Structure 1
Amino acid sequence: MQVSKYGFGAAPIGNLFSAVDDDEARAAVDAAYDAGIRLFDTAPHYGLGLSERRLGAALAGRPRDSYTLSTKVGRLLVPAPADAPVGRDDEGFDVPADLCRVRDYSRDGVRRSLEESLERLGLDAVDIVLIHDPDAHWEQAVSEAYPALAELRDQGVVKAVGVGMNQAAMLARFVRETGVDTVMLAGRYTLLDQSGEEELLPLCRERGVSVLAAGVFNSGLLATHDPSGTYDYAPAPGDLLARARRIASVCERHGVTLPQAALAFPLRHPAVVSVVVGARSAAEVTRNAALTAAPVPDDLWAELAAEGLIG
């Protein structure tokens, strides 16, 4: 499959952190498509299925062979217990807690999850299926989830299978021990954290496994030229905040903004085929598209390396 250099991450239109309405969500997807983005990534986890429903609705009517769609398995959505307190989801999404997530990396769980995702998306098939965050579930993920997905790939039901995680070590193990086609590496190959380059990225290059880089703003610290906010969804430590500000200063000398450099950096590695960026509005998509279209001089990377700010 050919994917666009930049992909649309659909967690924000699942009401990540705060709610957006249906029209805003559709406008964000439309803006991404109009900007030439052809990779769209979602998951049941995102808004308890809301992201999948909105993404499927927004892409309906587009030629199915004109875009690549990725979703994930590993979390089944089941009705909340009758005695559960009525309220909002407690995993970062502003949605009613009428469903709950159950971790399930079994063969049957994977097939059920995919069937339910297709129903929410309103599609007959997706292109890429990723095992989602199997950190504490290695044994079942490698012995049941991966073989189930590989079988679906062999049958032509899906085109590619892989794993998406916020860590590099277990992704490298999947690459060594299975036949995954792709990995989604979140937050571990960025301007502030290049740990993915130590083992995973060279291994993927060697094995022909494509890398989708996500979380390139490290949840917010790199999202603006004046660094602030969170790092990996927690208040940014002082040393990382200071490092981000040093990087921003170097960027400024080369006429580049910090988020512009953050978006461009991962594609410098030959194993990385696409950078997946979340957006909750058409304005955010337009802003990111403008950043990715602006050239980044090679001298910037050279100075950042000379300053010891990137490897």
Structure 2
Amino acid sequence: MVNLPGPFAFGAANLGNLYSPMSDEQAHAVLAAAWDCGIRYFDTAPHYGLGLSERRLGAFLAGRPRAEFVVSTKVGRLLVPDPAGADRLDEANQFAVPADHRRVWDFTAGGVRRSLEESLTRMGLDSVDVVYLHDPEEYDLPAALASGLPALAALREEGLVRAIGVGSKSVTALAAAARSGVADLLMVAGRFTLLDQTAMDDVLPECGDRRVGVAVASVFNSGLLATPEPSASSRFDYAAAPPDVLVTAREIAAVCAEFGVDLPTAALHFPLRDPTVHAVVAGAATPGEIRENDRRLRTHVPAELWPTLRDKGLIRA
């Protein structure tokens, strides 16, 4: 099992121009701010901007001692050239990059190995520390786990990676991975947050019983929890926030304010209360966002906040 340098990790989806373009210079500045804040775990994926996130992350890390940082990437989607898409953007996947490649699902042993090799080439690295199966439930969950997990285990046995697991929004996929006896680490995306605690049903108990580590991503649920006053225009799970979820977010924010804590600070601290959670993973579009989230994680949160939210029925026990 790899030790994650936490509690704050950098999620590199924004480096792939998620939702809006980012220049190479801006991407470098965001990563430099993360490094200056002491962040040493960086998570990326081929899916993020059709490889752009991996290329930008690799360019930044090229000047840093390899022993000083941890990198994870993901497998399951191969990138195949698609010249016919070069004149349009990859808007269907919400990335503002030319759609000059297409994603092809492949969880076979050969596909997993090829995906990792291509990621290493894009990043200019000889190895990564962690590899996750990415969103296997969006393909065929039983088939993806049946072939993908043994394929990753073989790479781990060869010493090509140090830890393996699944990164997903699906609690079904995550719980199955925890039960497999193969996974070292899970990336739980958006399912252990102030607005969604479904990972508490099966995923976290299985991880606790089987000594599987957890990194919690999407702690802001795509943006709704990222500001002190939740906005009707904010996203929730990559889509418009449903009215009832917006109401709950505003109620949580009001209780947090009573304790002198803003909503994003509470959102960052909430998952770290569980002993299975090794790190929270958050992205950023600007250096200021990185520094602000680092400050929030260093902010004291009164212990009484959590039982108050629970007693008001806003979070689960």
TM-score of the superposition, structure 2-length normalised?
A: 0.96
In the TM superposition, what whole-angstrom CA distance separates every residue of 1:275-299 from its partner, at most 9, and x where no partner exists? Answer: 0001122111111111111111101
1:86, distance to aligned residue in structure 2 (A)? 2.4
Between the aligned partners of 2:259 and 2:142, the Cα distance in structure 1 is: 48
**Partner residue of 2:258?**
253
Match of 2:178 in 1: 175
Q: Distance in 2 between matches of 1:74 and 1:123?
A: 19
Counterpart contact for 2:30–2:287, Cα < 8 Å: yes
- Residue 281 (1) aligns with residue 293 (2): no
Letter in 1 for 2:309: L
- Residues 1:142 and 2:145 aligned together: yes
User: Would you say the 8 A contact 2:226–2:264 is kept in 1?
Assistant: yes
SS, match of residue 11 in structure 1: helix
Aligned match of 2:93 in 91, 94, 101?
A: 91
Please list the CA deviations of residues 137-172 of structure 1 after superposition, one character each: whole Å capped at 9, or x if unmatched.
223322221111101101111000000001112211
Contact 2:136 2:145 in 1 (8 A): no
Deviation string for 1:178-207 (max 9, x for gaps)? 410011010110001100001110110110
Alignment equivalent of 1:295, drawn from 295, 300, 303: 300
Q: Does 1:77 align with 2:79?
A: yes
Residue 233 of structure 1 is aligned with which of 208, 232, 238?
A: 238
For 2:127, the equivalent position in structure 1 comes to 125
State the Cα distance separating 1:83 from its structure 2 match.
4.5
Residue pair 2:86, 2:100 contacting (<8 A) in 1 also? no
What residue number does 1:20 align with? 22
The reply to whether residue 216 of structure 1 matches residue 219 of structure 2 is: yes
CA deviation after TM superposition for structure 1 residue 60, in Å: 1.0
Contact 2:86 2:98 in 1 (8 A): no
- Give the distance between the partners of 1:27 and 1:119, measured in 2 at CA: 23
Moved segments of 4+, more than 3 Å: 82-85
Query: Which amino acid counterpart does residue 3 of structure 2 have in structure 1?
Result: Q
SS class of match (2:103): strand
Query: Aligned equivalents of 2:94 and 2:217: distance in 1?
Result: 18
RMSD of equivalent CA atoms = 1.1
Matched, 1:153 2:156: yes
Question: Residue 7 of structure 1 aligns with which residue?
Answer: 9
Quote the sequence identity (%): 53
CA shift for structure 1 position 84? 4.6
User: Which residue of structure 2 lines up, in the alignment, with residue 265 of structure 1?
Assistant: 270
Residues matched between the structures, number? 310
Contact preservation (8 Å) 1:18, 1:93: yes
Q: Distance in 1 between matches of 2:313 and 2:56?
A: 43
The secondary structure found in structure 2 opposite 1:241 is: helix
Cα shift readout 1:60-80 (whole Å, capped 9, x = no counterpart): 121111111000000000111
Distance 2:208 2:245 in 1: 29
Alignment CA distance shift 1:85-1:98 (3 Å) = closer
Q: Normalising by structure 1, what TM-score?
A: 0.97
Q: Spell out, residue by residue over 1:9-64, the C-alpha distance to the aligned partner (whole angstroms, 9 max, x if none).
A: 00001100001101110111111111011110000000000000000011112111
> 2:136 is paired with a residue of what secondary structure?
coil
Equivalent position SS for 2:93:
coil
Unmatched 5+ residue regions in structure 2? none
